[in-house]
Structure 1
Amino acid sequence: MKKEEKMSVRDAAKRFTSIVAAASLSFALLMPTGSAFADAGFRQWVASFRATAVRSGVSGAVYDRAFEGISDADPVVLEKARYQPEFTAPAWDYFDNRVHDQSVAVGKQMARKWKPWLDRIEARYGVDRHILLAIWSMESNYGEILKRDDVMRNVVRSLATLGYADSRRSKFARTQLIAALKILQRGDIDKSHLSGSWAGAMGHTQFIPTSYQAYAVDMDGDGKRDIWNSIPDALATAANLLRKNGWQAGKTWGYEVSLPDGKKFPAGSKSLSQWQALGVTRVNGKPFKNSAEKATLKVPGGRGGPAFLMVKNFSVIKRYNNADKYAVAVGLLADEIAGYGGLVQDWKRPFTKLSFEERQELQQRLSQYGYYDGKFDGKIGEGSRAAIMAFQAKAGLTQDGHPSMEVLKSLRQN
């Protein structure tokens, strides 16, 4: 396996994002003024990169077809690359946007709809179906993101744009571009459907091209590894990644636990029986399933929030995205889809939490009063927070930007 394929899928994407963000300033300084000059420079880069692609095993005919109709860099991609959000989400904000009643309800619906395929995928790869459904939700909102023209981009154009942005920092983008061209060459997808995020993550389960090459699966047997249009292929591809990175069939990802008040714990991995001897117990009072299994203590929201003992499968989920919050969100969402229930100790929020439907109502009312012009998707991002703060300023409330019941009640009164 190539070096870049050993990274987690989303880790590689994060690395990609940081590279292109750093490169964007150099690109802006080096690019001649005027779109005609910029387009000419991009076309010259595309023409010169053809030889590199051919040397890497891409046929000249495939290369030429892939770039038909692409005459300029994608300005949206460059804008996304430059944008660096200043807001650092606290734990409750991250999880509220991803693990909520709507994502759970749709996950249960998808579990019923795709049960025959999930049965086969689970039997072949040994990966819990609910983990796969949670990843699907986290990566593309069960495929809804793929329907949005404002989000999905032409992967070849996106990667070429980023490869052209700065020759000193574009190695990763160029590697991904060659991999994308090889996907076209193999015939898994045609050019018109080779779409992805601005940074090149593709399909229902958001694989960058090199990771697609390493893990993509033709689960439905049609001769194509189509993670864009085939749900079985997309979910099996995610399962294949987890299995190849050490997923342990029939085992959990972690346990929500109670910590004794005031006690500090040394860092590092210990057996579950050792943690129990230190006073760490499951919140539901049940015993740990395998007391000899090694586990690591995690408190994503600090000691005031929920605590977890994480076992091997937690680290395997991080091969998809090397972030503790991501893996915790996948595990929690999977458990709720499976019907195990949510957290016993909720995240410590400085306000009263809203349901998913109430968050949508919040956005609708903010829009009604002219504070918000985004989608009513129940996800509280920068636009929603700015709108909340603008309303709070007008209403004489503390300007914290929190999607609280207090703000919603005030909007209802207005």
Structure 2
Amino acid sequence: MSISRRSFGFGLMALGLGACGESVTSTPGPRATSGLPADLRPVPNAAYDAWVAGFHRRAASSGISNSTLTTAFRGAGYLPGVIKRDRNQTEFKRSLEDYLSIAASDERVSKGRAAYARHRNTLAALEQTYGVDAEIITAIWGLESFFGERRGNVPVISATSTLAFDGRRGAFFEKQLIAALRILQNGDISASRMTGSWAGAMGHTQFIPTSYQAFAVDFTGDGRRDIWSEDPSDSLASTAAYLARNGWTRGQRWGQEMIGSSPTSGNLIQPQPGGPKFAVTSNFRAIKRYNNSDAYAIGVGHLADRIGGAGPLRTSFPPDANGLTKDDRILLQKRLTAKGFDTDGADGVIGPNSEKAIRAYQQSRGLSVTGTPSQAMLRNLG
């Protein structure tokens, strides 16, 4: 698989499905490093300092000025939490049903419709200019940063330099660091305001620095491509431009759920055995250029449809490996919480909070502590 804008591990912070296993979020307004976890603040590291000194020479040969380097690295440093999150990435094996339960949750649909209404004029102008459906743009915004609520507040220079120094993906992240410095040198943003995810994805729709350089646009006309602003216009326009330049066809749907034996228009896929089938078009592939995942592209398309007024998928998913349907899992979560084992919500997704509650319940009953739900547990909780 070729490395796309996000396929190498940036993580859907807004979904809670990200590579870091936790969301480093921020409230609207300027980001302050004082609000970061302790392990995402710079700590002394002599080897990192030596690497930075050598990098300065390479950056200068790439056209980065001494003043830009001095300003960019003032206050920057080695972030141990970035390495921890990078090392702790796991290959998420969530089912499509679980993914969509989060990506197109009732809350996300409601917030998406409200965001669409607030920015209707801007979105309509973007659809006219770039040919990308306004609902698709809004859905990407929702999946990437929960409509701007979870943009990340980790300093990008510190994050990308830490990852470049670390070496596991050093060449890639040094390229991102150089691109970030060019953004600063161009005057689009100050170093103090250039913040994002722990891996350097920035703004309302989580662009990495090289994608910013290639696709970001100044839609507001203020002379800066400001994807960090509270006004999401430049971010949304940049996303529309990204899709338009990566194969989006004006007036064509992303795809649709196939019901029964209705004629197929597009390529037929069934990501989860026994679950819904989808007929997808070339616009589905354009969405995958944003994040190379069938689940992500279906999540964007389905959330866009829901924002536009459509209902939930009509085809049921099969029971999971433990013999539980989504309704069973929701009931299990409700019953556990009622018994004092809080699952922190009942969405039918058995994630870390539900597993912790299940383990506590099992331990309290003298059962084998596995964190795995079952039909027997559901009955016993009744």
Q: Name the TM-score class by shorter chain.
A: 0.7 to 0.9
User: Contact 1:201/1:207 (CA < 8 Å) preserved in 2?
Assistant: yes
Give CA-to-partner distance per residue, 1:238-262, whole Å, 9 cap, x none: 0000000111111101121135xxx
RMSD: 3.4
Decide which of 57, 72, 89 is 1:51's aligned counterpart: 57
Give CA-to-partner distance per residue, 1:272-295, whole Å, 9 cap, x none: xxxxxxxx416xxxxx7xx6xxx2
Q: Does 1:386 align with 2:359?
A: no
Q: Greater helix percent: which structure?
A: 1
Structure 1 residue 301 displacement after superposition: 1.2
User: Contact 2:131/2:249 (CA < 8 Å) preserved in 1?
Assistant: yes
- Measured in 2, the distance between the counterparts of 1:65 and 1:169 equals 25
Task: Provide the secondary structure at the position in 2 that maps to 1:297.
Answer: strand
- Measured in 1, the distance between the counterparts of 2:271 and 2:165 equals 38
Task: Provide the secondary structure at the position in 2 that maps to 1:213.
Answer: helix
The 1:59–1:13 alpha-carbon spacing in structure 2 relative to 1, beyond 3 Å, is farther
Alignment-derived partner of residue 26 in structure 2: none
The correspondence of residues 263-342 of structure 1 with structure 2, limited to 5 A, is 280-281=261-262, 295-302=266-273, 304-342=274-312
- Measured in 2, the distance between the counterparts of 1:297 and 1:322 equals 18
User: Contact 2:101/2:347 (CA < 8 Å) preserved in 1?
Assistant: no
Amino acid corresponding to residue 268 of structure 2 in structure 1: L
User: Contact 1:388/1:402 (CA < 8 Å) preserved in 2?
Assistant: no
The 1:134–1:397 alpha-carbon spacing in structure 2 relative to 1, beyond 3 Å, is farther
Task: Provide the secondary structure at the position in 1 that maps to 2:326.
Answer: coil
- Measured in 2, the distance between the counterparts of 1:85 and 1:228 equals 29
User: Contact 1:392/1:399 (CA < 8 Å) preserved in 2?
Assistant: no
Give CA-to-partner distance per residue, 1:137-162, whole Å, 9 cap, x none: 1111111112xxxx531110011101
- Measured in 1, the distance between the counterparts of 2:301 and 2:291 equals 13
Q: How many residues align?
A: 345
Give CA-to-partner distance per residue, 1:294-332, whole Å, 9 cap, x none: x21110111x21001111111111110111111011111
The 1:363–1:239 alpha-carbon spacing in structure 2 relative to 1, beyond 3 Å, is farther
Decide which of 92, 110, 114 is 1:109's aligned counterpart: 114
Alignment-derived partner of residue 11 in structure 1: 7
Decide which moves more: 192-201 or 391-400.
391-400
- Measured in 1, the distance between the counterparts of 2:148 and 2:373 equals 28
Stretches of structure 2 that go unaligned for 5 or more consecutive residues are 12-18, 21-41
Structure 1 runs of 4+ with >3 Å offset = 12-15, 349-355, 361-366, 368-372, 375-382, 394-404, 406-410
User: Contact 1:257/1:308 (CA < 8 Å) preserved in 2?
Assistant: yes
Q: Does 1:75 align with 2:80?
A: yes
Task: Provide the secondary structure at the position in 1 that maps to 2:299.
Answer: helix
The 1:87–1:316 alpha-carbon spacing in structure 2 relative to 1, beyond 3 Å, is closer
Alignment-derived partner of residue 353 in structure 1: 326
The 1:9–1:257 alpha-carbon spacing in structure 2 relative to 1, beyond 3 Å, is same
- TM-score of the pair, normalised by structure 1: 0.74
Structure 1 residue 210 displacement after superposition: 0.2
Amino acid corresponding to residue 341 of structure 1 in structure 2: G
Alignment-derived partner of residue 90 in structure 2: 85
- Measured in 2, the distance between the counterparts of 1:408 and 1:330 equals 36
- Measured in 1, the distance between the counterparts of 2:374 and 2:102 equals 11
Structure 1 residue 76 displacement after superposition: 0.7
- Measured in 1, the distance between the counterparts of 2:378 and 2:234 equals 43
- Measured in 2, the distance between the counterparts of 1:238 and 1:301 equals 28
Alignment-derived partner of residue 162 in structure 1: 163
Give CA-to-partner distance per residue, 1:87-113, whole Å, 9 cap, x none: 521221111121111111111001110
- TM-score of the pair, normalised by structure 2: 0.80
Report the identity percentage. 37
Structure 1 residue 193 displacement after superposition: 1.2
- Measured in 2, the distance between the counterparts of 1:199 and 1:363 equals 38
Q: Does 1:202 align with 2:208?
A: no
Structure 1 residue 392 displacement after superposition: 4.2
Amino acid corresponding to residue 157 of structure 1 in structure 2: S
The 1:205–1:378 alpha-carbon spacing in structure 2 relative to 1, beyond 3 Å, is farther
Structure 1 residue 231 displacement after superposition: 0.6
User: Contact 1:217/1:233 (CA < 8 Å) preserved in 2?
Assistant: yes
- Measured in 2, the distance between the counterparts of 1:100 and 1:206 equals 20
User: Contact 1:363/1:376 (CA < 8 Å) preserved in 2?
Assistant: no
- Measured in 2, the distance between the counterparts of 1:126 and 1:403 equals 48
Alignment-derived partner of residue 141 in structure 2: 136
Alignment-derived partner of residue 225 in structure 1: 225
- Measured in 2, the distance between the counterparts of 1:90 and 1:152 equals 30
User: Contact 1:108/1:337 (CA < 8 Å) preserved in 2?
Assistant: yes
